[in-house]
Amino acid sequence: MPTNRRRVTLKDVAARAGVSPMTASYAFTRPARVAADTRDRVHRAASELGYRPDAVGRALKSGRTHQIGVVFSEHLAYAFDDPQAAQFLAGVAEVCVEEGQGLTFIPTRGDAADAGRVLSAAVDGFVLWTTAQDDPVLAAVAGDPRPAVIQGGPPRQGIVCVTQDDYRAALAVASQGLREGRTPVVISFPLDRDRERMVTIGAELPSHAPFPVTDARLRGYRAAIEQAGLSWRSTPIAVVARNTQRDGVEAARDLAPQLTPDALIIAMSDELALGARQALLETHPEAAYLGWDASPAGRQLGITSVTNPLRDQGRRCARAALDPGRPGDQEIPWSIVSGGGACT
């Protein structure tokens, strides 16, 4: 039983090196402030003892945890099922590694205690993933002095926003798809936090969806459809629970009874479009598909899509969350890609 189970503390190191705890501390945090031989003695003592600085003690005194807190305002595990969320996280993670910061996921479960959990987290700043207007976590974070950044909105005083102009992009991509005179149907992200799968029509839709991204895209699709002289009110709309191919398959099955052979499937993601395509390949070989995110798989299968560089947005969010200067909102440019070419 060689190892001593008690934590090795800075005081132990100082004692062994024959210096005060302060000198030992400086030997690690400000090596230049300490005489070379003293510093070496401290370092030697530390490695002999197996000393590691304790992040908690350090954080308490210094007030900085060197952690970025990431919040997905719904069940945390969903974050890993959505490939777009994964891309976003990869971007956040890249910056964390570059800046020597840790990455803490703040667990949320959609209940009333979420706001408290978020505010109590031992992090220096917050990165939030798109959420609903009325999400209480938003209000909580907005009132916290730590920097906070949100991808996809909603915009809010006290929270920096990194977004695309989803309305214009949706209008543009749908308009392009409708040029061929096809009959549109829409596959939409959830309309509320219940995430209930359903089929409806434009006329039945609430005037505003609480998720700003979903809301803006729906408005864009609507404008495109009406500008094409078609009826939004009677356009079939499938609402999915999550952004997965599986949900795209289900949505397509739900829509199938109302589908014309020349249907234009307007989906809010390539993921959903790919699922729909797979479900309809045999029954509706002439259908066309619009997606979002410009995934390689989507491009390969001829899905027209909107670029949405989420990895880059993850990077921007992380950088902003690290910057106590509260930089301004950022709008990410987009373009439409179809079958290999890009325009606008």
Q: How far apart are alpha carbons 203 and 134 in whole angstroms?
A: 24
Residue 11 near its own copies by CB under 8 A = no
Strand segments (E) across 78-190: 102-106, 125-129, 148-151, 160-163, 183-188
SS3 170: helix
Contact 92, 317 (CB under 8 A): yes
Q: Is 263 in the site for DNA (CB under 7 A)?
A: no
CB 107 to its own copies: min, Å: 5
Q: Which does 19 bind (CB under 5 to 8 A by kind): DNA, its own copies, none?
A: DNA
Q: Which of 49, 76, 198, 230 binds its own copies (CB under 8 A)?
A: 76
In the complex, least distance from residue 159 CB atom to DNA, rounded to whole angstroms: 23
Please check whether residue 68 is in contact with residue 101, taking contact to mean a CB–CB distance below 8 angstroms. yes
By CB under 8 A, residue 112 contacts its own copies: no
**CA-to-CA separations, 79 to 90, 93, 140, in angstroms, rounded:** 12, 14, 21
Per CB under 8 A, contacts with its own copies among 245-284 are 246
For residue 42, the tally of other CB atoms under 10 A from its CB is: 26
Range 34-73, binding DNA (CB under 7 A): 34-35, 38-39, 52-54, 56-58, 60-63
- 3-state secondary structure at position 171: helix
**Residue of 16, 19, 185, 212 interacting with DNA (CB under 7 A):** 19
3-class DSSP assignment, residue 323: coil
Per the CB < 8 A criterion, the answer to whether 84 and 308 are in contact is yes
Closest CA to 132 of 105, 114, 107: 114
Shorter beta-carbon distance to its own copies: residue 35 or 77: 77
Q: Which residues bind its own copies (CB under 8 A)?
A: 3, 5, 50, 52-57, 59-60, 65, 67, 75-77, 79-81, 83, 86-87, 89-91, 93-94, 96-97, 100-109, 116, 119-122, 143, 145, 246, 296
Q: Which residues bind DNA (CB under 7 A)?
A: 7, 9-11, 19-23, 25-26, 28-29, 33-35, 38-39, 52-54, 56-58, 60-63
